[in-house]
Structure 1
């Protein structure tokens, strides 16, 4: 074989090697590009859970689309504090409700936080009754979203419409505005959240209230999140004590009660003198491979239980995310 023939074969081999190398590189680029496109998106907030207690006033700082059915069983103290002394009440009440949040984008959502049906069953003094709760809804805007830091914060504005039944401590006044701010922070397996706000009646007949709720939870496993929550209610400006809720002691409750109604009720009491503080202990359970969380919490007062409508409370709920 001549030298020229060797040179032709060598040239063909080099050309083929270069072509194959270029094709392999091109194929590698295409595969890498495909890998980037088809890689599953990671939700930076996947490990966050919604608080359980104080459900009408305390939720996550992150806008989400979700449905939140819940049930509350609230046992009332044997006696409550009034200007006439200790008055027997006892018994319990139940709340059946459904909250809905629709995220318009990653920062803004519409939030319906209060509705449902109340079954009121006192043992003494007050009248057994049932009826619809007021409706409350508004907007949530996350002004701060830093998923890489596990940090979020939002502003909310809700309006409670007095559409409920007076027999179950609803439907009075001209409504209540509730501006609030919440903060969320993830610290490893811990989640810390806080929300504070103001319950501001449109008229002077109801009480103006400041509240603050704090949540701490721990991701014990992929599906179990034990939690503790504290809720504080402070009356800034008492109501006028005018006759309201006529089926209950002839409408005299606002004039004689020395406490307010906490998260679900605004009595408009004119003689309220005490703060109300409660502690909730419970857990969330995340159903594997589903968008559903279940929750349970037992809540009880840290302040004198006669200064409120809670001896203790059991809350069971479900969060369905979309």
Structure 2
């Protein structure tokens, strides 16, 4: 009888057993945008490393107050971004650094050197994973530590406040980030930008995407002599365009907006924290009003 009692006491009622469900990341299907990498990222704070390579072909001619000036050639950027999430809402971002190899065909001077360093904070004021909705505020500061030979290192730095929004709609992801590039001094241009991303989860590992980037000069620079190795520092005084996402020329005669379209995809390596990305980007506005004929961006996102 005692053994029967012990056996009965040891029986487990399976209907009353507590089952612990595995933790599910509500943002597991989100992917980082590819184009405009220094100014456009996810609204969700994450810990990640983001190495990237840019190959940018420049137009044969660019628009200046002297007429069309030949440039051509290309430049490459080698960089690595780092984001460290302090908690689910706050992260520290290092968004700009790296090395620039500048190779024009005409007029300008071949050179290479370091990019400026830019870093700041991201705060997600809205996180609704059950709705697939997130939004954040960011504040970055670009420090003029780079080399003037490659259009960096001038001025007193640039503050960039911005806001981003993320929405998951079934297999679609929509993201938007807009902000302001506000120089500390008057020599550089103040710029508004807006970047939009749409992607689709075609399979568990393939995410085709399209992105649009818009740059609008709100207040032109003063055109003072800068970047002395490039045409004796005259570029800001004669250029009728700004430098887009990577360069602030301080051009005093900017008259046009710059709009580009990027088409590409992200590939998620199965059973790993790594995403690979590729995008081909080209202007929708006149390519003479900028430094881009087209651009190829290849990157990797390593999440922790």
- Compute the TM-score of the two structures, normalised by the length of structure 1: 0.90
1:209-257 CA deviation, whole Å, 9 max, x = no partner? 0000000000000000000000000000000000000000000000000
Match of 1:9?
A: none
1:103-134 CA deviation, whole Å, 9 max, x = no partner? 00000000000000000000000000000000
1: CA distance between counterparts of 2:7 and 2:114?
68
Match of 2:125?
A: 143
Compute the displacement of 1:39 (Å).
3.2
Compute the displacement of 1:24 (Å).
11
2: CA distance between counterparts of 1:136 and 1:65?
17
1: CA distance between counterparts of 2:7 and 2:185?
73
Change (3 A) 1:32 1:257: farther
Change (3 A) 1:256 1:146: same
Match of 1:163?
A: 145
Change (3 A) 1:41 1:27: farther
Change (3 A) 1:258 1:188: same
1:144-166 CA deviation, whole Å, 9 max, x = no partner? 00000000000000000000000
Compute the displacement of 1:40 (Å).
1.9
Runs of 4+ in 1 over 6 A off after TM superposition: 19-35
Change (3 A) 1:202 1:20: farther
Match of 1:39?
A: 21
Change (3 A) 1:45 1:124: same
Change (3 A) 1:35 1:207: farther
- Give the unaligned 5+ runs of structure 1: 1-18
2: CA distance between counterparts of 1:21 and 1:182?
66
Aligned residues: 304
2: CA distance between counterparts of 1:201 and 1:167?
20
Query: Which protein is richer in helix relative to its size?
Result: 1
Partner of 1:26, secondary structure, is helix
Change (3 A) 1:122 1:107: same
Change (3 A) 1:303 1:28: farther
1: CA distance between counterparts of 2:156 and 2:4?
75
Question: RMSD across aligned C-alpha pairs, in angstroms?
Answer: 2.5
Change (3 A) 1:38 1:81: same
Compute the displacement of 1:186 (Å).
0.1
1:16-71 CA deviation, whole Å, 9 max, x = no partner? xxx99999999999898997675321000000000000000000000000000000
Change (3 A) 1:31 1:244: farther
Compute the displacement of 1:311 (Å).
0.0
| Worse-matched range after superposition: 39-48 or 220-229 | 39-48
Larger radius of gyration: 1
1: CA distance between counterparts of 2:3 and 2:225?
89
1:69-120 CA deviation, whole Å, 9 max, x = no partner? 0000000000000000000000000000000000000000000000000000
Match of 2:68?
A: 86
Change (3 A) 1:134 1:34: farther
